Amino acid sequence: MKTRARAGARLTGSLSFRLGVALALVLAIGGVAVSLAAYAYGRSAAQQSYDRLLVGAANQIAGSLGLRDGEVIVDIPVSAFELLSLAPRDRVVYAVFDDRGRLVTGYDTVALPEGDGRFFSGSFAGEPARYVHVRRQIAERSFLGAVDVVVGQTTEARRELTQQITRNALLAVAVVGLVISGLAVLAVNSALRPLHRIERDFALRSSRDLTPVDVEVPQEIASLVAALNRFIGRIDRQLRVMRTLIADASHQLRTPIAALRAQAELAREATDAEDQLRIVEKIHERSRNLSRLTDQLLNHAMIIHRADSVDLAPVDLRVVASDAVDQFDQTLSGSERVVRIDLPEAPMVCDGDALSLVEACKNLINNATAYGKPPITVFVRDDGAALNIGVRDRGDGMAEGLWADAGKRFAKRSGVSSTSAGLGLSIVSAVAQAHGGRMTIRRPADDRFEVFLELPKVREAEP
């Protein structure tokens, strides 16, 4: 079953795979962003940590400055280099300059920075180095000026600390990523579980089960289930139409066909011309009834089919009434009954299927000509709440107690007659329901009988 279903569908890849790829991309992008942020944070943290050591060492050297005979002397404390020894593999360089920029002590490869920046980058012995510049003002009788202290250190320890912080951050990100991936797998499976429930519901059904899907699903899939149920409903209605057509045809056509056959056999065996002519008249009458019944069966199936397959469009009911009268007159074959038409001047527009409405109106005319009394009038009107299209005659009509069942197939016309009204009013009722309306029967006066469709008006577009 699954193989056939997959063969009939256009496969575009696994939904789970798509979600997995999407989550993997999200995690990858997040991992790259976190890695860059971790590297930037590690670099900044290492820079700040070792910069503090440089500042501490430079301040200690600046604090040890002294004067002798008006000259600057430096007694570099050991504690200054103990701070920098926290990076044992880094080289330390320093220099002290008097107020005239002359080197007092230290490395002659170190130069004063050109700007006023406190920290600056450079190199020492071919390796990148980080420097700090500290200035101390001295104001005494024998010396008035500023002494500059520059302390530098290579950056190997900084790089190692940056890498260590980054590795620790990436390790934490990897662990969190694995946990999130596991949770994402569970979330994807949980999100797809309603689809699996729908699949199991269809897989366990028999070929004759067209009941709506009754599976608990989240709100996001409810619209899919509703669409499936609407589709199943359309299929079920189409199958019901087919079963009804087959059942009605087998039940309703068998008797008249058997009667025609019997009359034909009598006509073949009749020797008297008058008897034969009388039998031929009966055959003609029965064939007309059989033709009418067959047309009604096919029209009923067509109306129900069009209700599910044809989109409604604006239709002027005056045009529908005129077409119905014209088509009826073409098949009246010499009847003396005249069908009148009563139409308003203003358009009477509703959303409908013109073909179905014409068929419904023709069936009302047929019923009126068969069972009513002239004059027979096809009318269109606006009763304020809805638009009406129907037929009026002067006959007694059916008993009021039968109005509720008039729209059923082959309903009895009266409590006495054994004949049925066929499918005429059933077709009218089906057309009305397909248009969101209803079939109404009423007797507005003692000598009038009306059967009409109440159809909703076209909603005016909001400004």
- What torsion, rounded to 10 degrees, do the Cα atoms 387, 391, 394, 397 define? -100
In sequence order, what are the beta bridge partners of 152? 93, 131
Cα angle 32, 37, 42 (rounded to 5 degrees) comes to 125
pLDDT tens figures, 347-369:
999 988 888 898 889 889 888 88
Cα angle 404, 405, 406 (rounded to 5 degrees) comes to 95
What pLDDT does 452 receive?
A: 92
In sequence order, what are the beta bridge partners of 445? 448
Q: Which residue from 379, 373, 372, 308 is spatially nearest to 341, judged by alpha carbons? A: 379
Rounded Cα–Cα distance for residues 99 and 143 (Å): 9
What pLDDT does 117 receive?
A: 63
- Whether 148 and 133 have beta carbons less than 8 Å apart is answered as yes
What pLDDT does 462 receive?
A: 39
What pLDDT does 115 receive?
A: 66
| CATH T-level fold of 312-463 | Heat Shock Protein 90 (3.30.565)
**Residue 144, helix vs strand vs coil:** strand
E strands, 272-386, are: 313-316, 339-342, 349-352, 376-382
What is 377-433 written as a DSSP string?
EEEEEE-SSSEEEEEEESS--S-GGGGGGTTSTT-BSSSS---B-TTHHHHHHHHHH
Rounded Cα–Cα distance for residues 370 and 314 (Å): 32
What pLDDT does 194 receive?
A: 80
| pTM score over 0.75 | no
In sequence order, what are the beta bridge partners of 136? 147
Sign of CA dihedral 402, 407, 408, 409: positive
What pLDDT does 320 receive?
A: 92
Give the phi and the psi of residue 442 in degrees, each rounded to 5. -155, 160
In sequence order, what are the beta bridge partners of 130? 121, 153
- Whether 62 and 149 have beta carbons less than 8 Å apart is answered as yes
pLDDT tens figures, 16-33:
777 778 888 888 888 888
Range 197-231 burial, b when 16+ CB lie within 10 A, else e: ebeebeeeeeeeeeeebebebeeebeeebeebeee
What pLDDT does 445 receive?
A: 78
Where the chain has pLDDT below 70, the residues are 1-13, 115-117, 241, 245, 248-252, 300, 304-309, 329-337, 405, 407-423, 459-463
